[in-house]
Chain A
Amino acid sequence: MNYLSLIVLLPVLSFILLIVFGKKLGDKAAHLSIAAVGAAFGLSVKALLDAMGGAHADLSFTWLTIGNLKLTFGLLLDPLAAMMLVVVTFVSLLVQLFSVGYMHGDKRYGWFYACLSMFTASMLLLVFSSNFVQMYMAWEGVGLFSYLLVGFWFEKRSASDAAKKAFMVTRVGDLGFGIGLIILFITAGTLDMSQVFAMKFAPETASLIAILFFFGAIGKSAQFPLHVWLPDAMEGPTPVSALIHAATMVAAGVYLVARAYPLFEQGPAAMEFVAIIGTITAFMAATIALTATDIKKILAYSTVSQLGYMMMGLGVGAFAAGTFHLMNHAFFKALLFLGAGSVIHAVHSQEIFDMGGLSRKMKITSLTFVIGGLALAGIPPFSGFWSKDEILLGAFESGHTAIFAIGLLTALFTAFYTFRLIFVVFFGKPRGHHGDHVHESPAVMAVPLMLLAALALTSGLLGSPFMGNAYQSFILGGHGGTEHHINYLVMGLSIGVAVLGIFGAWLKYSTNLLPSNVMSKNNIIYQLLVNKYYIDEIYEYTLVKPTHAIARYVLTFDQRVIDGAVNGVAWVISRIGGGLKYLQTGYAQNYALVMVISVVVLIIWSFRAIQLF
Chain B
Amino acid sequence: MQIEWINLMPELMIFGVAIVVLLGELYLSANAKRILGVVSLLGILAALFSLTSLYGVEATEFMDMFSIDLTATVLKGILLATTALVVLATLRSRMTIGEGEFFSMMLFSVLGTMFMASANDLIMLFIALELTVLPAYILVGSKKTAGSAEAALKYFLLGLVASVILLYGMSLVYGLTGQTNFTAIANALAGQAIEPLLLVGMVMIVVGLGFKVAAVPFHFWAPDVYEGAPVPVASFLAVGPKAGGFAALIHFFPVALAVAAPIWAGLFAILAVLSMLLGNLAALAQTQVRRLLGYSAVAHTGYLLVGLAVADSFGYTALIFYFLVYSLAALGSFLVILATTERGLGENVTDFAGLFKRAPMLAFAMAIFLFSLVGIPPFAGFMGKVYLFGAAVRSDLIWLAVIGVLNSVVSFGYYVTVIRQMYLVNPTTDDAVTVSKPLYLSIVLIMAAVVFLGVYPSAFLSIINL
* B456, A63: Cβ atoms closer than 8 Å: yes
- Bound complex: CA A606 to CA B394 (Å): 24
Complex contact B220–A602 (CB within 8 A): no
Segment at the interface with A among B198-206, B246-254, B304-312, B368-376:
B198-206
Candidates B194, B204, B410, B457; contact of A610 at CB < 8 Å: B194
- Cross-interface CB contact of A580 among B263, B270, B282, B387, cutoff 8 Å: B282
Once the chains bind, are A577 and B158 in contact (CB under 8 Å)?
no
Q: Collect the chain B residues with CB atoms within 8 Å of residue A609's CB.
A: 262-263, 266
Using a CB-CB cutoff of 8 Å, which residues 407-466 of chain B contact chain A? 410, 413, 456-458, 461, 466
What residues of chain A lie closer than 8 Å to B456, measured between beta carbons? 63
Q: Are A66 and B390 in contact (CB under 8 A)?
A: yes
**A577, B282: Cβ atoms closer than 8 Å:** yes
Q: Are A606 and B262 in contact (CB under 8 A)?
A: no
Contact in complex: A573, B217 (CB < 8 Å): no
| Contact A62-B165, Cβ < 8 Å, known A573-B284, A577-B284, A591-B158 | no
Query: What is the 8 Å Cβ interface bit string for chain A, positions 580-613, against chain B (1 contact, 0 not)?
Result: 1100101010011011101100110111011001
Determine if B282 and A581 form an interchain contact, defined as CB atoms under 8 angstroms apart.
yes
Q: Number of contact residues on A: which range applies?
A: 20 to 34
Q: Give the chain B neighbours of A105 by CB distance below 8 A.
A: none
Nearest CB in chain A to that of B220: its residue: A591
A65 on the interface (CB 8 Å rule)? yes
> Closest residue to B216 on the A side, CB-wise?
A598
CB distance B211 to A595 under 8 Å? yes
B162 at the interface (CB under 8 A from A): yes
| B217–A594 touching, CB < 8 Å | yes
B 373-400 binary contact with A (CB < 8 Å = 1; else 0): 0000000000000110010001000000
Name the interface residues of A38-65: CB closer than 8 Å to any CB of B: 61-65
Residues of A within 8 A of B413 (CB): 570, 573
| Residues in B196-223 with C-beta less than 8 Å from chain A | 196, 199-200, 202-204, 206-207, 211, 217-218, 220-221, 223
Q: Nearest-CB distance from B307 to chain A (Å)? A: 16
- Chain A residues near B262 (CB-CB < 8 A): 609, 613
Interface residues on B, range: 35 or more
A467 at the interface (CB under 8 A from B): no
B154 touches A588 (CB 8 A): yes
- Indicate whether A574 reaches chain B with its CB closer than 8 angstroms: yes
The smallest C-beta distance from B188 to any residue of chain A, in angstroms, reads: 19
Asked if A576 CB lies within 8 Å of chain B CBs, one says: yes
A-side contacts of B466, CB under 8 Å: 65
The chain B residue sitting closest to A593, CB to CB, is: B161
Chain B residues lying within 8 Å of A573, measured Cβ to Cβ, are 281, 284, 410, 413
Say yes or no: A592-B390 contact (C-beta < 8 A), given A62-B458, A605-B270.
no
Residue of B218, B224, B457 near A598 (CB, 8 A) is: B218
A604's nearest neighbour on chain B, judged by CB, is B203
The one of B158, B207, B266 that contacts A599, using a Cβ cutoff of 8 Å:
B207
Note all chain B residues with C-beta closer than 8 A to A594: 217, 220
Q: Which residue of B lies closest to A73 (CB)?
A: B456
Q: Distance in Å from the Cβ of B443 to the closest Cβ of chain A?
A: 13
The digit string for B258-301, where 1 denotes a CB below 8 A from any CB of A, is 00001100110010000000100111110000000000000000
Distance, CA A63 to CA B223, complexed state (A): 38
Q: Are B217 and A595 in contact (CB under 8 A)?
A: yes
A578 adjacent to chain B (CB < 8 Å): yes
| Complex: A440 Cα to B141 Cα, angstroms | 74
A599 to B394, CA, bound (A): 30
Judge if B153 is at the interface, Cβ distance under 8 Å.
yes
Give B261's nearest chain A residue, CB to CB.
A613
**Is residue B97 within 8 Å, beta carbon to beta carbon, of the partner chain?**
no
A598 near B217 with CB under 8 A, answer yes
* CB neighbours of B38 from chain A (8 A): none
Contacts of B220 in A (CB 8 A): 584, 591, 594
**A580 to B200 Cα, complex, angstroms:** 29
Q: Are B199 and A610 in contact (CB under 8 A)?
A: yes
Interface status of A480 (Cβ within 8 A of chain B): no
- Tell me, in angstroms, the Cα distance from A591 to B394 when the chains sit together: 36
Interface flags, A313-338, vs B, CB<8A=1, else 0: 00000000000000000000000000
Given A581, A595, A610, which contacts B207 in the complex, CB threshold below 8 Å?
A: A595
Q: Are B194 and A588 within 8 A (Cβ)?
A: no
Partner among A64, A580, A599 whose Cβ is within 8 Å of the Cβ of B458: A64
Quick check: is A515 within 8 A (CB to CB) of the other chain?
Answer: no
Flag whether A67 is at the interface (Cβ < 8 A): yes
CB distance from A137 to the nearest CB of B (A): 10
Give min CB distance, B455 to chain A, whole Å.
9
Contact A580 B199 (CB under 8 A): no
Return the contact of A67 from the options B158, B394, B461 (Cβ within 8 A): B394
Give bound CA distance, A58 to B162, whole Å.
Answer: 57
Given the complex of chains A and B, what is the CA–CA distance between A591 and B160 in angstroms? Answer: 12
Please report the C-alpha to C-alpha distance between residue A279 and residue B211 in the assembled complex, in whole angstroms.
72
- Are B223 and A602 closer than 8 Å at their CB atoms? no
Q: B157: CB under 8 A from chain A?
A: yes
**Nearest CB of chain B from residue A587's CB, rounded to whole Å:** 9
Q: Which residues of B contact A66 (CB under 8 A)?
A: 386-387, 390
When distances are taken between beta carbons in the complex, the residues of chain B under 8 Å from A63 are 456, 458
Known: A576-B281, A609-B266. A591 touches B207 (CB 8 A): no
Residues of A60-113 at the interface with B, using a CB-CB cut-off of 8 Å, are 61-67
CB distance B217 to A584 under 8 Å? no
Bound state CA distance, A502 and B466, in angstroms? 67
| Cβ contacts B113-142/A at 8 Å (1 or 0 each) | 000000000000000000000000000000
Which residue of chain A lies nearest to B278 when distances are taken between CB atoms in the complex?
A580
**Complex Cα–Cα for A410 and B18 (A):** 82
Q: Is the CB of A592 within 8 A of B267?
A: no
Expressed in whole angstroms, the Cα–Cα distance for A580 and B281 within the complex equals 8
Chain A residues near B281 (CB-CB < 8 A): 573, 576-577, 580
Q: What residues of chain A lie closer than 8 Å to B387, measured between beta carbons?
A: 66
Q: How far is the CA of A591 from the CA of B214 in the complex (A)?
A: 13
**B315 CB → nearest A CB, Å:** 14
Q: Find chain A residues with CB under 8 A from B283 CB.
A: 577
In the complex, the answer to whether A595 meets B458 with C-beta atoms within 8 Å is no
B211: A residues at CB distance < 8 A: 595
Residue with the highest number of chain B CB atoms closer than 10 Å, among A578, A581, A594, A609 = A609
A574 touches B284 (CB 8 A): yes
List residues of chain B with CB within 8 A of the CB of A592: 157-158, 161
Nearest CB of chain A from residue B275's CB, rounded to whole Å: 12
In the assembled complex, the Cα of A64 lies from the Cα of B162 at a distance in Å of 40
Max chain B C-beta neighbours (<10 A), residue from A65, A573, A591:
A591
Interchain CA distance A66-B206 in the complex, whole Å = 31
Q: How far is the CA of A278 from the CA of B283 in the complex (A)?
A: 58
A591 CA to B194 CA in the complex, in Å?
31
Quick check: A591 and B285 within 8 Å, CB to CB? no
Per-residue CB proximity of B16-59 to A under 8 Å, as 1/0?
00000000000000000000000000000000000000000000
B165 touches A610 (CB 8 A): no
Q: How far is the CA of A588 from the CA of B157 in the complex (A)?
A: 7
Interface flags for A174-198 (1: CB within 8 Å of B; 0: not) read 0000000000000000000000000
Closest chain-A Cβ to B103's Cβ sits at a distance in Å of: 29
Residue positions of B touching A, CB distance < 8 A? 153-154, 157-158, 161-162, 165, 194, 196, 199-200, 202-204, 206-207, 211, 217-218, 220-221, 223-224, 262-263, 266-267, 270, 278, 281-285, 386-387, 390, 394, 410, 413, 456-458, 461, 466
Q: What are 23 inter-chain pairs, A to B, with CB distance below 8 A? A: A63-B458, A65-B461, A65-B466, A66-B386, A67-B394, A570-B413, A578-B285, A580-B281, A580-B282, A591-B158, A594-B217, A595-B158, A595-B211, A596-B161, A598-B217, A599-B165, A602-B203, A603-B199, A606-B266, A609-B262, A609-B263, A610-B196, A613-B262
Q: 5 closest pairs, A vs B, by CB? A: A577-B285, A591-B220, A577-B284, A606-B199, A577-B281
Identify 9 new A-B residue pairs, CB closer than 8 A, beyond the known A570-B413, A586-B224, A595-B218.
Answer: A67-B394, A573-B410, A584-B282, A588-B154, A588-B158, A592-B157, A594-B220, A609-B266, A610-B199
List residues of A whose CB falls within 8 A of some B CB: 61-67, 570, 573-574, 576-578, 580-581, 584, 586, 588, 591-592, 594-596, 598-599, 602-603, 605-607, 609-610, 613
